Amino acid sequence: MTRKMNQNFMFVIAVSILLSVLLTAIVSYRLFQQEVFAGLSSCAKMIEQLGLIERMKEDGYVQPENELRITWIGEDGSVLYDSYTPAIVSTDHSSRPEVMDAQQNGEGYSIRKSQTMDESIFFYAKRADNGTIIRMAKETGSILQVYKNILPAVFFIALFSFLISAWIARKLVKAFVRPIAQMADDMSHLENVDAYKELTPFVELIREQHEEVKQNARIRQEFTANVSHELKTPLTAISGYAELIANGMATKKESRHFAEEIHENAQRLLKLINDILALSELDDVQGHTLSLERVNVYEIARQCIHKLEPVAAKHEVCLLLEGEPLLIDADRELLAEMIYNLCDNAIRYNKKGGNVWVSVTDRLSVRDNGIGISPQYQKRVFERFFRVDKSRSKKTGGTGLGLAIVKHIAQAHRACIALESEEGVGTTISVMFPGSASALEGWGAAHE
């Protein structure tokens, strides 16, 4: 890129130097013409005022060549006197453009090529008071000839300007590219990049994205470590119990107990794998389209409660549904999973004889009068594998992924989540879907 930019700059510099040399040549040649005509005009005036032309004619004065040529032309256009070639006397000059102009307007100018063609002849004609025309002529080099003399100087000036501009351009390109190269070299220290004003937002953006990538990598690494750890515990148990049975060291009664343990741990593994799969699918959903359809949140909540009745009964918890139909555009399966997870938690982290109220109004709320969550953990419960009480979670079949899944499903539906909880009193988790009536004020802080 640096090379390309340098080449482009060189090209632009070369073109602009060439153009300016060309334009300067044209303008200065015009000035030169004006100067020559001004000189001829003042000479003609002087000759007229001093009556010199009559005296020259009388004396038969013949001028050496390469000097000013003076021609005197009568009113009828015939030559009365010529300082170069007396022989042209009496020839008709009335058709010469400068003579015609002088006859009509008092003054006339013209430039013609000399016979040798590399010289130009400047003609100036002036009508005298007595009606005759005094014409002055001067031979000078043509534009090319004039420039031939100054060409070496022009060439050196152009070359010098080119070199100076090219040097400055190189410096500018370097300064322009330096922060970008710095960024490419060391992505980890973007804060040290010495960026100019226009590049700052770009560097900021890259810095943020880089941080995000690093953060994501860290999360993925932690997640992999957690997953491995979570898988290891039930697998170790399964392997241990299976080994005991295989060795024939267990009695029939023990074997039965070990088989139950194996079954329970395998169930845990399955649940864990299902939750991990659900999360990874949700990662894919972010940014992709969901299979949205018009669904009734109340109806889905009713079905979830029905499914969870046996679990609630086992924990001696009462499940209650209240509210009214709420129609939203959502992915039916994901919405069901979200409500299921919230209700499942409200049952598992409850007390014997406790209640779970599922309410559908303009939002969905799952409230329980269970153990509650202390304020320091309230934000963290949405993290993957975070559990306040690990043993209680495991004992009740928790994987530590339920609320992370809830958070992802809400995000995929652009819904907001709010959590209110008091230790020993209970927990309420509410989900507010976009497009449903009430305002979102006060939801930002709790939105995960």
Contacts of residues 78-87 at CB distance under 8 Å and 24 or more positions apart, as own/partner, are: 80/132, 81/53, 81/56, 81/57, 83/56, 86/60, 86/62
Smallest gap, in angstroms, from Cβ of residue 277 to ligand ADP? 15
400 touches ligand ADP by CB under 6 A: yes
381 touches ligand ADP by CB under 6 A: yes
Asked whether 253 and 380 are in contact (CB, 8 A), the reply is: no
Nearer Cβ to ligand ADP (108/402): 402
Out of 268, 363, 387, 413, name the contact with ligand ADP by CB under 6 A: 387
Calpha distance 137→108 (Å, rounded): 12
402 touches ligand ADP by CB under 6 A: yes
Nearer Cβ to ligand ADP (69/387): 387
Smallest gap, in angstroms, from Cβ of residue 396 to ligand ADP? 7
Out of 52, 88, 295, 388, name the contact with ligand ADP by CB under 6 A: 388
268 touches ligand ADP by CB under 6 A: no
Residue 141 is given by DSSP the state E
Q: Which tokens hold the place of 56? A: 């020259």
Dihedrals φ, ψ of 318, to 5°? -100, 130
Nearer Cβ to ligand ADP (189/229): 229
Q: Provide the mask over 82-111, with x wherever binding to ligand ADP is found by CB under 6 A and - wherever it is not.
A: ------------------------------
Tell me the helices (H) and strands (E) count for the chain, helix number first: 10, 12
Smallest gap, in angstroms, from Cβ of residue 441 to ligand ADP? 25
354 touches ligand ADP by CB under 6 A: no
Q: At what angle do helices 2-50 and 52-59 cross, to 10 degrees?
A: 70
Q: Which stretch binds ligand ADP (CB under 6 A): 172-180, 278-286, 315-323, 363-371?
A: 363-371
Calpha distance 27→146 (Å, rounded): 13
Smallest gap, in angstroms, from Cβ of residue 398 to ligand ADP? 3
Q: Which stretch binds ligand ADP (CB under 6 A): 47-55, 285-293, 300-308, 394-402?
A: 394-402
373 touches ligand ADP by CB under 6 A: yes
Sheet containing strand 355-360, strands side by side? 318-323, 355-360, 364-368, 426-432, 416-422
234 touches ligand ADP by CB under 6 A: no
Out of 427, 431, 432, 433, name the contact with ligand ADP by CB under 6 A: 427
| Helix, strand and coil in the chain, % to nearest 5 | 60, 15, 25
Asked whether 413 and 287 are in contact (CB, 8 A), the reply is: no
The maximal CA–CA distance of the chain, rounded, in angstroms, is 157
369 touches ligand ADP by CB under 6 A: no
Asked whether 320 and 355 are in contact (CB, 8 A), the reply is: yes
Out of 393, 415, 431, 432, name the contact with ligand ADP by CB under 6 A: 393
370 touches ligand ADP by CB under 6 A: yes
Which residue, chain included where needed, has tokens 């953990």? Answer: 377
Q: Provide the mask over 312-351, with x wherever binding to ligand ADP is found by CB under 6 A and - wherever it is not.
A: ---------------------------------xx--x--
Q: Which stretch binds ligand ADP (CB under 6 A): 17-25, 123-131, 166-174, 392-400?
A: 392-400
Calpha distance 392→422 (Å, rounded): 18
70 touches ligand ADP by CB under 6 A: no
Which residue, chain included where needed, has tokens 């008709």? Answer: 92
Asked whether 179 and 201 are in contact (CB, 8 A), the reply is: no
Nearer Cβ to ligand ADP (9/386): 386
Question: How many residues in the chain?
Answer: 448
Calpha distance 46→448 (Å, rounded): 99
Nearer Cβ to ligand ADP (206/416): 416
Asked whether 392 and 416 are in contact (CB, 8 A), the reply is: no
With a CB cutoff of 8 Å and minimum separation 6, the contacts of 386 are: 377, 380, 400
230 touches ligand ADP by CB under 6 A: no
Nearer Cβ to ligand ADP (132/421): 421
Q: Give the binding-site size for ligand ADP (rule: CB under 6 A).
A: 22
Nearer Cβ to ligand ADP (82/230): 230
371 touches ligand ADP by CB under 6 A: yes
With a CB cutoff of 8 Å and minimum separation 6, the contacts of 281 are: none
273 touches ligand ADP by CB under 6 A: no
Smallest gap, in angstroms, from Cβ of residue 423 to ligand ADP? 9
**Residue numbers at the binding site for ligand ADP (CB under 6 A):** 345-346, 349, 368, 370-373, 381, 386-389, 393, 398-404, 427
